[in-house]
A and B are shown apart, each in its own frame.
With several copies, the nearest count.
Chain A
């Protein structure tokens, strides 16, 4: 029996602020899973701490709401032990690029086959609107008493340099497009990253829905109001590395596009490279039968509760008479 969208929803009361961009991302995740008919029990959503961190509670799959900044190592641990799980990690920009930036870099180096989605609202939502790492230098949202002191970090470029092998950007109010991105990220073999632009109407009065829609953004040529976001795929941009040798060029163009901001903000797939072995592949290089019997599928004791592991060889080597 086909799973319906409703099957992916819980009855937990959602207490995000009215109009929060998080709702769109939540819907997109649920739609993606439902369109892919991912069995409920096969998926696990991991999250960090923040408004965004509450996401798993609203999704009817396994849901692990972890610690601030640590969602990636938690999620990787589960995926490595059981590669059959569909693992999605989600969290805020403060969570992932502030306190969690170190794990972000190191996860890129591993390329574990899973998806990581950052809810990018440029503020620390749940702690009441402090500047997040994606807020531009000198910006003063209504939640700040003084302009932001720090340069912003570019999540797309950072992911690229870290080694993520699928990098895209979505917008929380373009749920359909975002849903497609999430599906592609899930299908990707390797670590996929999605930077999702997420208005926080409560604290961020700069990067609002209206701002992204471009209500104040006029085409210099024809004077027409135009949305700030545009879709890479609609411009003929192709971020997919089809041959390994293309990687460097494609990275270059992705970086270039990632620097666009202000009146033109690209959405879509910036980069995808399936020629990099996943962490799972690399483990197979050490443990040939890893994918057949990964840690989670090993019987460690027999019916008599005796260990199945045999230490004979190891111990023999140490015997006094050896």
Chain B
């Protein structure tokens, strides 16, 4: 039976124990694809563990832009048993599995990192299919599914290779097994070895010796597979296409940090937490900033604090000197910051919190994904104070949005919570190179000088919270001559001194809170919400969502469009103050409103009810800690279109 070849479109998955090189193999693969001119979307899944637990990396490749993963696996790359047990059954018909011949007799009980629940599930599956509870059983199962098996005897190859290069430290060489597995997959896919070589060099560019060793190992393994297997038998194939110089391969844990550098953020505080620390660590590694005029070297000071309370309060302290200041955290840390956010609110201090959401509550699933913090972010802190909550939909947006949120913070003199999440942070994708000059820097009413009393110009007796500049007063940096002011967490006068006067209180509350009205008016529509596509008048179906579900939704509705079903998608970006009238307009002609969110409650749905007095017709939610695939969304939408779907669909895919 010959099948048509599928060129440059597949899902490739590599798995292995944490610390065994899964990520670098996936990074090499991703880099190679992008160097070959292909588009990728990759995502990392891992346990809250340092070494030993199962992690895997999914890379979807295409010759068109893609923004999400799908449920199926076309090529599973493994060098341990657990990967096979956990993913072997998900490989499609005609797909392939690369595995280690030496592991076939490993029983599932011999893999200690397979937890009870997974053990039960896999065991049941194999038993039901009458397979043995071994790797071989799983391979048989896969074979029954129509999966092609590629056994690679890593140990034997390593031994041969070690002899060939005359390096007998097998334990060192063992560390190249990830790259061997990867290059085996390259061989199966008939991929260009020069690109592979270049990619390895790039990933190991800081360690040329290691690069060299890995290249040699890669080639050895590549050639072995080429010689053993007929790669033309495999349905999937990757080939080089025209590369474009304005495409970058970007990791989601660096894009917002890069935006910070461009935005002029010069002070970041943090307390380590997954998945937010990467943001700070990137800044720390790039603390010296090349600037114009040429030769000028600016810098960002990054401080690791004793906790998140110190992180936010120190950032606010920095912001008072006129420095664009930020902190990056995740749920547990954010919970500790709310009191200080109220202080920034009442004192009208611009500060940015990058909130990398992960699955909660409490410690939750610290390395897994969720969008569970929306209502908390909007309502955080006791009392009422203005804040902006802004959500980015993908890696590319997160760069530009980061510059925008600093502008918002300074223009409206308030804290901004920039919502990101584990799905963005731990994904990697090809996108257009960032244009760092696209968005101007707007510092709002920041005065660098105060003309002293008696002179003309700005009021002599400077008032930090002047009413008649309502609602936004001029701000100065601590240390500015003639600009002395006071701040207090108490309600204050125009100078910033404590007062309990009831009338002043009303005026100050009005001043502060009305900044949100101004923001609502001034913030451009595209920063509030974006509508994609249109819906068929007959069905009138519109999806509303926010944050990192964007990619999967876009990919799913593209697929629906191909099938002649048009669904509109409204991505809300400004979460607070809620862009009610814009979204209302975008929802005109909507008969069926579908809310898609990575949480239990459907939190955006609540906001829509609260602000638009409009019901959600269907909720598609997911809260198992694994991000949504476009397949799942596609299926759920089809279900709804079928008319038989319940009002709330819970997605459950993901390992």
A and B touch in the complex (CB under 8 A): yes
Q: Is B219 an interface residue (CB 8 A)?
A: no
Q: Is B635 an interface residue (CB 8 A)?
A: no
Contacting residue for A73 out of B249, B314, B436, B487, CB 8 A:
B314
CB distance from A48 to the nearest CB of B (A): 10
Q: Is B358 an interface residue (CB 8 A)?
A: no
| Binary per-residue interface labels of chain B (276-309) against chain A in the complex, 1 for a CB within 8 Å, 0 otherwise | 0100010011111111100011111101111111
Q: Are B313 and A73 in contact (CB under 8 A)?
A: yes
Q: Are A80 and B318 in contact (CB under 8 A)?
A: yes
Q: Are B478 and A307 in contact (CB under 8 A)?
A: no
Closest to A110 in B: B303
Contacting residue for B313 out of A12, A70, A125, A307, CB 8 A:
A70
CB distance from B216 to the nearest CB of A (A): 22
Q: Is B48 an interface residue (CB 8 A)?
A: yes
CB distance from A10 to the nearest CB of B (A): 8
With A and B bound together, what is the CA distance between A314 and B482 in angstroms? 40
Chain A residues, Cβ within 8 Å of B296 = 308
Known: A66-B313, A145-B284. A320 touches B245 (CB 8 A): yes
Q: Are B267 and A103 in contact (CB under 8 A)?
A: no
Q: Are A287 and B301 in contact (CB under 8 A)?
A: yes
Q: Is A149 an interface residue (CB 8 A)?
A: yes
Q: Is A192 an interface residue (CB 8 A)?
A: no
Q: Is A301 an interface residue (CB 8 A)?
A: yes
Q: Are B277 and A296 in contact (CB under 8 A)?
A: no
Q: Are A62 and B479 in contact (CB under 8 A)?
A: yes
Q: Is B248 an interface residue (CB 8 A)?
A: yes
Contacting residue for A67 out of B35, B271, B288, B362, CB 8 A:
B362
Contacting residue for B441 out of A98, A295, A300, CB 8 A:
A300
Q: Is B53 an interface residue (CB 8 A)?
A: yes
Contacting residue for B303 out of A16, A80, A298, CB 8 A:
A80
Chain B residues, Cβ within 8 Å of A306 = 437, 440-441
Q: Are A298 and B298 in contact (CB under 8 A)?
A: yes
Q: Are A80 and B301 in contact (CB under 8 A)?
A: yes
Give the segment of B257-265, B564-572, B615-623 that binds chain A. B257-265
Give the segment of A53-61, A216-224, A250-258 that binds chain B. A53-61
Q: Is A122 an interface residue (CB 8 A)?
A: no
CB distance from A140 to the nearest CB of B (A): 13
Q: Is B160 an interface residue (CB 8 A)?
A: no
Give the segment of B150-158, B321-329, B640-648 that binds chain A. B321-329
Q: Are A49 and B363 in contact (CB under 8 A)?
A: yes
| Binary per-residue interface labels of chain A (54-92) against chain B in the complex, 1 for a CB within 8 Å, 0 otherwise | 101100111111111110011111111110110000000
Contacting residue for A81 out of B112, B258, B323, CB 8 A:
B323
With A and B bound together, what is the CA distance between A146 and B286 in angstroms? 11
Q: Are A290 and B301 in contact (CB under 8 A)?
A: yes
CB distance from A147 to the nearest CB of B (A): 12
Known: A67-B313, A67-B362. A101 touches B244 (CB 8 A): no
Q: Is A130 an interface residue (CB 8 A)?
A: yes
With A and B bound together, what is the CA distance between A322 and B203 in angstroms? 11
Closest to A322 in B: B202
Chain A residues, Cβ within 8 Å of B490 = 65
With A and B bound together, what is the CA distance between A68 and B264 in angstroms? 30
With A and B bound together, what is the CA distance between A222 and B633 in angstroms? 73
Chain B residues, Cβ within 8 Å of A315 = 248, 258, 433-434, 436
Known: A293-B298, A309-B289. A82 touches B314 (CB 8 A): no
Q: Are B488 and A65 in contact (CB under 8 A)?
A: yes
Q: Are B304 and A106 in contact (CB under 8 A)?
A: no
Closest to B268 in A: A295
Q: Is B483 an interface residue (CB 8 A)?
A: yes
Q: Is A142 an interface residue (CB 8 A)?
A: no
Chain A residues, Cβ within 8 Å of B208 = none
CB distance from B27 to the nearest CB of A (A): 12
Q: Are B269 and A77 in contact (CB under 8 A)?
A: yes
Q: Is A275 an interface residue (CB 8 A)?
A: no
State which residues 264-322 of A face B: CB under 8 Å: 283, 286-287, 289-290, 293-296, 298, 300-302, 304-315, 318-322
Q: Are B478 and A126 in contact (CB under 8 A)?
A: no
Chain A residues, Cβ within 8 Å of B286 = 314
Q: Is B339 an interface residue (CB 8 A)?
A: yes
Chain A residues, Cβ within 8 Å of B437 = 306-307
Closest to A44 in B: B478
Count chain A CB atoms within 10 A of each CB in B362, B430, B486 and give the residue with the most. Answer: B486
With A and B bound together, what is the CA distance between A12 and B496 in angstroms? 11
Count chain B CB atoms within 10 A of each CB in A57, A81, A287 and give the residue with the most. Answer: A81
With A and B bound together, what is the CA distance between A315 and B290 in angstroms? 13
Q: Are B248 and A70 in contact (CB under 8 A)?
A: no
Q: Are A106 and B113 in contact (CB under 8 A)?
A: no
With A and B bound together, what is the CA distance between A65 and B441 in angstroms? 30
Count chain B CB atoms within 10 A of each CB in A145, A289, A304, A321 and give the residue with the most. Answer: A321
State which residues 479-501 of B face A: CB under 8 Å: 479-490, 496-498
Q: Are A295 and B323 in contact (CB under 8 A)?
A: yes
Q: Are A319 and B306 in contact (CB under 8 A)?
A: no
Contacting residue for A42 out of B113, B281, B434, B479, CB 8 A:
B479
Contacting residue for A307 out of B303, B323, B340, B436, CB 8 A:
B436
Q: Is A17 an interface residue (CB 8 A)?
A: yes
Q: Is A124 an interface residue (CB 8 A)?
A: yes
Q: Are B317 and A76 in contact (CB under 8 A)?
A: yes
Q: Is B332 an interface residue (CB 8 A)?
A: yes
Closest to B309 in A: A70
Chain B residues, Cβ within 8 Å of A40 = 484
Q: Is A128 an interface residue (CB 8 A)?
A: yes
Q: Are A78 and B247 in contact (CB under 8 A)?
A: no
Q: Is B272 an interface residue (CB 8 A)?
A: yes
Known: A85-B479, A130-B304. A77 touches B277 (CB 8 A): no
CB distance from A77 to the nearest CB of B (A): 3
Known: A44-B479, A320-B249. A300 touches B305 (CB 8 A): no
Count chain A CB atoms within 10 A of each CB in B115, B243, B281, B441 and give the residue with the most. Answer: B441
With A and B bound together, what is the CA distance between A125 and B19 in angstroms? 14
CB distance from A46 to the nearest CB of B (A): 8
Q: Are B321 and A126 in contact (CB under 8 A)?
A: no
With A and B bound together, what is the CA distance between A62 and B244 in angstroms? 54
Q: Are A67 and B318 in contact (CB under 8 A)?
A: no
Q: Are B317 and A102 in contact (CB under 8 A)?
A: no
Known: A293-B298, A295-B323. A17 touches B478 (CB 8 A): no
Q: Is A208 an interface residue (CB 8 A)?
A: no
| Binary per-residue interface labels of chain B (536-579) against chain A in the complex, 1 for a CB within 8 Å, 0 otherwise | 00000000000000000000000000000000000000000000
CB distance from A39 to the nearest CB of B (A): 8
State which residues 214-273 of B face A: CB under 8 Å: 243-250, 258, 261-264, 266-267, 269, 271-273
With A and B bound together, what is the CA distance between A108 and B447 in angstroms? 34
| Binary per-residue interface labels of chain A (90-104) against chain B in the complex, 1 for a CB within 8 Å, 0 otherwise | 000010001101110
Q: Are A15 and B266 in contact (CB under 8 A)?
A: no
A selection of 30 A-B contacts at a CB cut-off of 8 Å is A12-B497, A15-B52, A40-B484, A67-B489, A74-B316, A77-B314, A102-B306, A106-B310, A124-B272, A127-B272, A127-B277, A130-B277, A146-B284, A149-B304, A287-B288, A295-B321, A298-B323, A301-B441, A301-B443, A306-B437, A306-B441, A307-B403, A309-B261, A309-B262, A310-B292, A311-B262, A319-B248, A320-B34, A320-B37, A320-B247
Which 8 pairs of residues, A with B, have the shortest CB-CB distance? A77-B317, A300-B264, A106-B306, A77-B314, A65-B488, A295-B266, A301-B441, A127-B272
Beyond A70-B313, A125-B50, A296-B479, 8 additional pairs, beta carbon < 8 A: A18-B51, A78-B320, A126-B48, A146-B284, A202-B51, A306-B437, A314-B286, A320-B37
Q: Which residues of A contact B (CB under 8 A)?
A: 10, 12-13, 15-18, 39-42, 44, 46, 49, 51, 54, 56-57, 60-70, 73-82, 84-85, 94, 98-99, 101-103, 105-106, 124-128, 130-131, 133, 145-146, 149-150, 202, 283, 286-287, 289-290, 293-296, 298, 300-302, 304-315, 318-322
Q: Which residues of B contact A (CB under 8 A)?
A: 19, 34-35, 37, 47-53, 112-113, 115, 202, 243-250, 258, 261-264, 266-267, 269, 271-274, 277, 281, 284-292, 296-301, 303-311, 313-325, 332, 339-340, 343, 362-363, 403, 430, 433-434, 436-437, 440-443, 477-490, 496-498
